[in-house]
Amino acid sequence: MSRGPYKLLITDLDGTLIDGRGQIHERDRLAIKALLERGVLVSLCTGRMYSGTRDIARTLGLKAAVGCVDGSHIVHSADDRDLVLRSIESEAAAVLYETLAEIRPVSFVFSDDTVLYDAAGVEFLPYINTWSERSVALEDAIEESRRRRASSTCGVVSLGTEMQIKTIVAELAKRAPNALQTVTFPVRRTTYTGMWGMVVRTAGASKGTAIEWIAGHEGVELSETIAVGDWLNDIPMLENAGRSFAMAHAPDEVKTAATEVLDADVVRGGGIEEAAQRAGLL
């Protein structure tokens, strides 16, 4: 059985468990193996779709529910069973697609565990494909998604200038108040210098709601959870966990949300190992 007051550790993927090459840090892989052997539950909570998360969960030998698309989709990693799917409601989706069609950033639609894209998005696929192993090219991703109004669309990622992204956010707040939530950020890739990104999801779904749901599903109190992350979308998870750790390279807002800041960073790895050691689990 697990030692101490903590029974569940949930980690972000990219920038936390996963390095810049898309590989699991070896120290953290070994730490997770040791945690599982000691009876500690380990889960993942990521912005990726499940198709981009499944192989990692299986490589690590996880058997718990995992949160994907920032908590909009929760799947049991042992049998790929959908547990929660919080899609964008049709009226809000119509507003979203109309706004994107007017402003025209490069957009990717997350639907049916697949990334939908068009010709404008081809050069950005190396950036987006880490989120899902499934992608389908369409003539116009936004127009076709608007016509289909897929009930399983749980997110949209857009890339554009800072002005485009901020204009879209303002329009969505005005035209679909309280129906959608957006996260914006400067893209941290040297090849896309000056670009901004935006993630849109249905209101009420976040990594914070995911950790709460997963803990309840696994029979664990939130006070018995540990979370590790490095980016803005991790803030709700870090704030909800019983104890939370921000990676050393995380922005200041993320470090403020966590109860502790790690020495480990994305280059050296070891964030999971360090967090588990500090919590007395290793």
pLDDT in tens, the chain (282 residues): 344 589 999 999 999 999 988 899 999 999 999 999 999 999 999 999 999 999 999 999 999 999 999 999 999 999 999 999 999 988 999 999 999 999 999 999 998 888 999 999 999 888 777 778 788 999 999 998 887 755 578 899 999 999 999 999 999 999 999 999 998 988 877 777 789 999 999 999 999 999 999 999 999 999 999 999 999 999 999 999 999 999 999 999 999 999 999 999 999 999 999 999 999 999
| pLDDT value at residue 26 | 96
Is 43 exposed, middle or buried (CB count within 10 Å of its CB: 0-12, 13-18, 19+)?
buried
Encoded tokens for 211: 């950790």
- What one-character-per-residue DSSP string does the chain give? ---SS--EEEE-TBTTTB-TTS-B-HHHHHHHHHHHHTT-EEEEB-SS-GGGTHHHHHHHT--SEEEEGGGTEEEETTTTEEEEE-PPPHHHHHHHHHHHHHH--EEEEEETTEEEE-GGGGGGHHHHTTS-S-EEE-S-HHHHHHHH--TTEEEEEEEE-HHHHHHHHHHHHHHSTTTEEEEEEE---GGGTT-EEEEEEETT-SHHHHHHHHHHHTT--GGGEEEEE-SGGGHHHHHHSSEEEE-TTS-HHHHHHSSEE-S--TTT--HHHHHHHHTT--
Nearest Cα neighbor of 5 from 213, 222, 273, 247 is 222
* Burial state string for 173-197 with b = 16 or more CB within 10 A and e = fewer than 16: eeebeebbbbbbeebeeeeeeebbb
Domain 8-85+205-278 part of CATH 3.40.50.1100: no
| pLDDT value at residue 4 | 56
Q: Where in the chain is the domain with CATH 3.30.1240.10?
A: 90-202
| pLDDT value at residue 149 | 58
Q: Where in the chain is the domain with CATH 3.40.50.1000?
A: 8-85+205-278
d(CA 41, CA 127): 30
| pTM score of the predicted model | 0.86
CATH number attached to the domain at 90-202:
3.30.1240.10
| pLDDT value at residue 153 | 85
| pLDDT value at residue 151 | 59
Widest Cα–Cα separation across the chain:
56
Q: Report the relative pairing of strands 81-85 and 243-246 from DSSP bridges.
A: unpaired
| pLDDT value at residue 74 | 96
